[in-house]
Amino acid sequence: MKSSTEKAARVLLMVGIFSSAAFAHPMKGVGDFYAGMLHPLITVETLLPLLGLSLLAGQQSRETATKLIVIFPAALAVGTLLILVRPFPAQLTTSELLMTACLGLLIALARRIPAWIPIGLSLLIGLGIGWSNSVEITGEVSAVRFVAGLSLVGLLITTYGIGLVRQGKLEWMQIAVRVAGSWLAAVGILVLGLK
């Protein structure tokens, strides 16, 4: 009987073998739904806080993690609507880095924190990522499909991150998560220096 870790590794290996390069912006033939799913994953600025939030959610209580699974995809969807109010301000990329650094430090500390902190972070990150991705909804792109893809990928990453951290009973897994947090913090702090 194969362990879930082994199965997951096999799936990742197969995905890795059969994957081809993804180009987010001219996503011809991909479809609006999958464009929405892929765009945040291939933009490092958004991928890092996404991963960080999912790992932090996994370190929190079951109740908080469950709330994040609902709140974060919703925040992504609402964030895309902000484009109707005003265009995405480029300065917000700095806040994404700040969030990445904060998330990384919190993950490295591996402490249960008051629920309002991860919930607040997920709202800010979700709104920011949604807003920044909304600039891709132009011309013939279906906003509904794009936003649905975006929200789904937010849901999947958060859920997988929570599952990975909470199901990883092995001590080394918890340590690996903290190490990953320290890396996220380091990247965020370093690039913040340029802003």
Partner 1 sequence: MRNDLLKRCSIPLRGAAVIAGLLALNTPAFAHTTSGQANGFVTGFLHPLSGLDHVLAMVAVGIWGAQLKRPAIWILPVAFPIVMSIGGLLGVRGVPLPGVEVGVAASAVVLGFAILLELRPPLWIAAAIVSAFAIFHGHAHGTELPKAASPLTYALGFVLATGWLHLCGILFGLVEVWPTGAKLLRTAGAFIAGIGVFLLAGMVTHL
Output the CA–CA distances (angstroms, integers) from residue 175 to 7, 81, 106, 171, 185, in the order listed. 22, 38, 13, 6, 15
Q: Identify residues 148-177 at the interface with partner 1 (CB under 8 A).
A: 175
As given in the structure block, the two tokens for residue 20 are 């081809």
Measure the CA–CA gap between 148 and 161, rounded to whole angstroms.
Answer: 20
If the CB atoms of residues 73 and 181 are measured against partner 1, the closer one turns out to be: 181
CB-hemisphere CA count at 13 Å for 124? 19
Q: Identify residues 27-66 at the interface with partner 1 (CB under 8 A).
A: 44-45, 48
If the CB atoms of residues 123 and 186 are measured against partner 1, the closer one turns out to be: 186
Measure the CA–CA gap between 139 and 47, rounded to whole angstroms.
Answer: 25
* 144 lines the binding site for partner 1 (CB under 8 A): no
- The binder of partner 1 chosen from 108, 137, 147, 150 (CB under 8 A): 108
Q: Identify residues 8-27 at the interface with partner 1 (CB under 8 A).
A: none
- Kind and range of the H or E element at 139? none
8 A C-beta contact, residue 54 and residue 162: yes
* 185 lines the binding site for partner 1 (CB under 8 A): yes
8 A C-beta contact, residue 133 and residue 36: yes
If the CB atoms of residues 147 and 191 are measured against partner 1, the closer one turns out to be: 191
If the CB atoms of residues 84 and 194 are measured against partner 1, the closer one turns out to be: 194
- The binder of partner 1 chosen from 105, 113, 123, 143 (CB under 8 A): 105
Reduce the DSSP state of residue 168 to 3 states and report it. Answer: coil
Stretch that binds partner 1, among 5-13, 66-74, 102-110, 145-153 (CB under 8 A): 102-110
- 35 phi/psi in degrees, rounded to 5: -60, -40
If the CB atoms of residues 101 and 119 are measured against partner 1, the closer one turns out to be: 101
Nearest to 50 by CA among 62, 38, 60: 38
Q: How far is the CB of 84 from partner 1 (least distance, A)?
A: 28
* 95 lines the binding site for partner 1 (CB under 8 A): no
Residues of this chain that interact with partner 1 (CB under 8 A) are 44-45, 48, 97, 104-105, 108, 175, 178-179, 181-183, 185-194
